[in-house]
Amino acid sequence: MSSHSKIASCPAVFISAPASGQGKTTITAGLARYHYNQGRKVRVFKTGPDYLDPLILQRASHHSVEQIDLWMMGEDYCRQVLYQAACKADLIIIEGAMGLFDGNPSSADLAAFFGIPIIAVINGKAMAQTFGAITLGLTQYRPDLNFAGVIANNVASERHQGLIKQSIPKNTTLLGCFPRNEQMELPHRHLGLIDPNEIEDFDQRLEMLANEISLNELGELPRAVVFKDSVNQTPMPKLKSYTIAIAKDEAFSFIYAENIRLLKALGATIVYFSPLHDQDLPVADALWLPGGYPELHKEKLQNNQKMHQAIQQHYQADKKILAECGGMLYIQKTLTGIEGDSVRMVGLISGDGHMRNRSGCQGMQTALLPEGEIRAHAHHHSRSENTIEPINYAKRATHPAPGEAIYRSKGLTASYLHLFFPSNQAAIVELFSR
């Protein structure tokens, strides 16, 4: 980092919890909508690899939401995006991943690195005074962390609320108690929360949450945090005169905003198309088929034979294709649902995708590609059988076992991995170049 770093100061808070499923996204969305309603510019970040929570937080804050992760992005990148947000925002909210101390680096590591005060959201369901013990453990476990306080979620009654209040240790602030209320919950399915565009009363839920924030006197801005700029090299436009067509619709939507921003900074022209609704591909040098929920739309994807033919022609012309997770299921031969119903897919390479109830390989991994190493993650509820021989396997961040298989055929690169493009610009240029 340069010795002449610029600085910006902005109120900031980090929302975490003792585990997944405590209500972090619900509280974060409520806070974002409340402050937006007060006329403030709110910038929200989500820790770790996640595509669905950012869609919800984007609706709540009326601003695009980006990932922030020390392992996937590195310290300088994280520093840069927070500084840029602090220059324009009235409030920065970061939602953590899993439990506060889970993972390496954890949400706690990120909060400590930037000195951001933490609010811990604890699901009070089926406990009373034990709430205080969990609060004590979370807030005292690491002395380098700064806690703004705790929020009790899923509180059943005034009596329940009273027992929780009595249990709170000294020097800890109980910032609010959120009642158990199905109308304020955010619906979810197998890979996480449901896309807000599929929920009719989504904005009403957000307004109810914002109202609950005001009732709990959570509306005060947190203390300001100072963020330093990081020296950021402007990419050379090495993809100038390249057009990259990206699949984007109800079936394919797992796209990092940072990936798009990098491709544009590299000079690429970005066009979008829908494998569900379009009959043909836009004119393009390369295709990117990201992850999503092809299994929820498999019959419609199967029936769009004209799109199959267009993608097959692109592949036969030896043009580049990146197929990630759901995108890979789409370019294999078949996809079979949980009920055993099988449909034909595009069939660029052999491989049969099977949906299943339990999750497959998960977590942070490094894609070991001929072009170079790219940081990535995997999270899926399917497996692929009868595939071609992989050219390599990913390297897991914290485990010696091999990660996801990486396949290559002609200009196609396919894997369950979701790549974070800015982690290796040069490799991304090679991956999409002719």
- Catalytic machinery residues: 325
Phi and psi (nearest 5°) for 111?
Answer: -60, -40
Q: Amino acid identity, residue 407?
A: Y
Give Cα 133 to chain centroid, integer Å: 31
Instruction: Classify 373 as helix, strand or coil.
Output: strand
Token look-up 């939401």 returns 65
Instruction: Report how far residue 61's alpha carbon sits from residue 41's, in angstroms, rounded to the nearest whole number.
Output: 8
Instruction: Classify 206 as helix, strand or coil.
Output: helix
SS3 track for the chain: CCCCCCEEEEEEEEEECCCCCCCHHHHHHHHHHHHHHCCCCEEEEEECCCCHHHHHHHHHHCCCCEEECHHHHCHHHHHHHHHHHHHHCCEEEEECCCCCCCCCCCHHHHHHHHCCCEEEEEECCCCCCHHHHHHHHHHHCCCCCCEEEEEEEEECCHHHHHHHHHHCCCCCCEEEEEECCHHHCCCEECCEECCHHHCCCHHHHHHHHHHHHHHCCCCCCCCEEEEECCCCCCCCCCCCCCEEEEECCCCEEECCHHHHHHHHHCCCEEEEECCCCCCCCCCCCEEEECEECHHHHHHHHHHCHHHHHHHHHHHHCCCEEEEECHHHHHHCCEEECCCCCEEECCCCCCCEEEECCCCCCEEEEEEEECCEEEEEEEECCEEEECCCCCCEEEEECCCCCEEEEEEEECCEEEECCEECHHHCHHHHHHHHCC
Please give the structure tokens belonging to residue 177: 């108690």
The closest alpha carbon to 118, from 147, 157, 144, 138, belongs to 147
